[in-house]
Structure 1
């Protein structure tokens, strides 16, 4: 199959990494993924080139984009926020089926739902909210959770000393608030080193606000290696799943709130909203400190949670399974049963 993903900007974040992972799996399975973006970072350009995935980057494509789609004989368009309206319009113009993915509560466009053939939600919470906002689209909705390459994201570290914490995230306004809370927490944990993986517009400002000793990793192409340095990883959404796949205990949070440690008791509740900090607990240094001490100061508990996390990720977040679900959707649209 010849599939084109359309995105606004591919820089650093869960959406971008998920799109790259899907394209990699599609190509490995013998299909032909293409990517259009109005903006793409040099890091993502390099990865698409290395993987041999064809792409088009154009801020104002005009008629060049439909011409390119015709030339490449694209069979299905897959839109991501905020270019879902563009994907829907191209689908109508070129008579190509359109799939869209809602990665959260941003980039929704209810007016396009009539032109979209399948609408994928990355969590049950997103599904439920979309169904409430537009009940007429329920027959087009489905949930496909983000998948993780469990052969790449896997444990390859010896148990640590309980002194390294990794924060994963795009350096934007939301993560700035979250990181400032982490900074306050680290001050109360002598001997603990904080590593920060990610880039973005607030990186320089956060560096200036950070306490001494924070290690800034910037954009990380080898995220499994970064995660395997840590005794606990802090993140949102995909970052939490990647840490779990590496067998590293994970703490989920975002600017809107605090989910806490992902454990057998909390995982289903937190997974419902994709580990996005919407569990109802406030994000403050006291809550974070309580969980940090629990996981960092108890080596046996840390190993137990790490081993459980790896098994759960293998059983539930396999990227190949997620890619196959996408391919099934595409095939049903390209070759409908009559």
Structure 2
């Protein structure tokens, strides 16, 4: 099947952007001809191309009509409906907050809407338009996001993965973590990292919302649901169903998370939540199964199976996959080099500490020896002082008692 996935902006790292990249890669693995259309390319377009996905930033360059379109905002939905009015289109709605991300209301633009949680489903069902609504779950690439180490029994370092968490909410998080002895590192607002899975291996838990916490769980990290919009605390097997249904927004509870709640939650940290969280992601959020479900939706719109696979198209797909594997290999090599550099630095630091310890022990031995000499001299002085006192007492009792040759000293 020839499929075009679309998002008006594909330049920054965000939930809807990473969703589209994940879906594209898994559809490509199934042998489909997948392209991404965007008006604004950038970091995410670079990441998608690195994984063998073609990214097009002009309607004029779309080429042959697709068999199906999957759009994520009204801008590109209408772009592609205008370019290919006969091509069936589905829409993925990610938000109940931003109007640009709601399904197009013009009849015939999109025939089905995929929603990834019940909160958004209620929003879509309230729209004044007749649309088929399909409820799926957020897909996570569990091969890319997988455990590389285990969280510590007591947390000392955490990752804030958010494009929103700042202001008063961030301040209370900073203060609470500092009081608990937890160092915070951040990506999302001031710093962008296209490979957050590598950084997750160096922390004990992750703070965020939506896809960010699911990726953390896939990496075997306890996930703390907290953002500028609200918070629901640790994600556990007990509260996962209702948190997932609400879209992992952090807005499920009746009251927010204050400093006292944060401190109590940090004290209740359990590293086993990382292992249990990964099991939840494997069971409910496998990107491969999600790709199958999306294909079912597109087929239900009449997309069919597309054009027969040709030798040229399959060779092109294999080259794309080969490039994706090579890009991943280069990334792993770079990560290995960084890890080796950290290990060398650690060895050097250990050696320096050993040398400093040896110097300190030598200095301590010298100080101890000098102290022993001073103690001996002090004992000698005290002995002489006692003798002098005895002489003074004798002189005081009998001034004639002291004669030459009878001195005690």
TM-score, length-normalised on structure 1?
0.82
Displacement, 1:84?
5.0
Q: 1:178 to 1:57 in 2, by over 3 A?
A: farther
1:253 aligns with 2:221: no
Shift of 1:48: 2.4
- Equivalent residue number for residue 144 of structure 1: 136
1:331 deviates by 2.2
What SS is found at the alignment partner of 1:120? strand
**2:380 aligned partner:** none
Give, in angstroms, the shift of residue 147 of structure 1: 0.6
TM-superposed deviation, 1:112? 3.1
Residue in structure 2 matched with residue 187 of structure 1 by the alignment: 178
> Which residue of structure 2 aligns with residue 39 of structure 1?
40
- Is 1:290 matched with 2:264? yes
CA apart distance, 1:82: 4.4
Counterpart among 169, 178, 193 of residue 162 in structure 2:
169
Q: Which whole-Å CA distance do the structure 2 matches of 1:128 and 1:271 have between them?
A: 14
Deviations 1:15-66 (A, max 9, x none): 111111111111111111111112122x3232222222111124xxxxxx1x
Kept after mapping to 2: 8 A contact 1:24/1:51: yes
CA contact (8 A) 1:104 1:122 kept: no
Q: SS state of the match for residue 249, structure 2? A: coil
Unaligned 5+ residue runs, structure 1? 59-64, 204-217, 296-300
Q: Counterpart of 1:112 in 2: which secondary structure?
A: coil
Alignment-derived partner of residue 198 in structure 1 = 188
Q: CA deviation at 1:284?
A: 2.5
Identify the residue that residue 8 of structure 1 maps to in structure 2: 8
Name the CA distance, whole Å, in 2 between partners of 1:264 and 1:192. 24
Confirm or deny: 8 A CA contact 1:77 1:87 kept in the other structure: no
Structure in which a larger fraction of residues adopt strand? 1
Partner of 1:108: 102
In our comparison, the structure showing a higher alpha carbon Rg is 2
Query: In structure 2, what is the equivalent of residue 76 of structure 1?
Result: 68
Query: Shift of the alpha carbon at 1:135?
Result: 6.8
Aligned residues of 1:88 and 1:112 also touching (Cα < 8 A): no
Q: How does 1:310-321 map to 2 (within 5 A)?
A: 310-321=278-289
How far apart in 1 are the matches of 2:259 and 2:107?
A: 42
The 1-side partners of 2:26 and 2:301 are apart by 20
Matches within 5 A, 1:83-98: 83=75, 85-87=77-79, 89-90=81-82, 93-98=84-89
Gaps of 5+ in 2: 306-409
SS at match of 1:129: helix
Verify: 1:57 aligned to 2:57, yes or no: yes
Q: What residue number does 1:268 align with? A: 241
Q: CA-atom RMSD, angstroms?
A: 2.2
Q: Separation in 1 of the partners of 2:150 and 2:197?
A: 14
Maintained 8 Å contact 1:99/1:118: yes
Distance 1:121 1:82 in 2: 15
Q: Determine whether 1:237 maps to 2:210.
A: yes
1:158 aligns with 2:127: no
Give the aligned partner of residue 19 of structure 1. Answer: 20
Question: How big is the shift at 1:90?
Answer: 2.5
The alignment status of 1:323 with 2:291, answered yes or no, reads yes
* Aligned mates of 2:169, 2:235 — CA distance in 1: 17
Q: How far 1:336 sits from its partner (Å)?
A: 6.4
Rate the CA distance shift 1:72–1:182 in 2: closer, same or farther, 3 A.
farther
SS at match of 1:94: coil
Q: Measure the CA separation in 2 of the matches of 1:336 and 1:74.
A: 11
Deviation of 1:285 (Å) = 2.4
Aligned CA distance change for structure 1 residues 83 and 232 (closer, same or farther; 3 Å): same
Q: 1:133 to 1:51 in 2, by over 3 A?
A: same
Query: 1:279 maps to which residue?
Result: 252
Deviations 1:105-135 (A, max 9, x none): 1222552354211111111221122213347
- Once the two structures are TM-superposed, the CA of residue 158 in structure 1 deviates from its matched residue by 3.4
Counterpart pick for 2:126 among 114, 121, 132 = 132
**Residue 113 to residue 148, structure 1, CA distance change in 2 (3 Å):** farther
Give SS of 2:172's match. Answer: helix
Distance (Å, rounded) in 1 between the aligned partners of 2:22 and 2:74: 19
- The answer to whether residue 271 in structure 2 is matched with residue 302 in structure 1 is yes
Partner of residue 322, structure 2? none
Q: Which residue of 2 aligns with 1:211?
A: none
CA contact (8 A) 1:6 1:83 kept: no
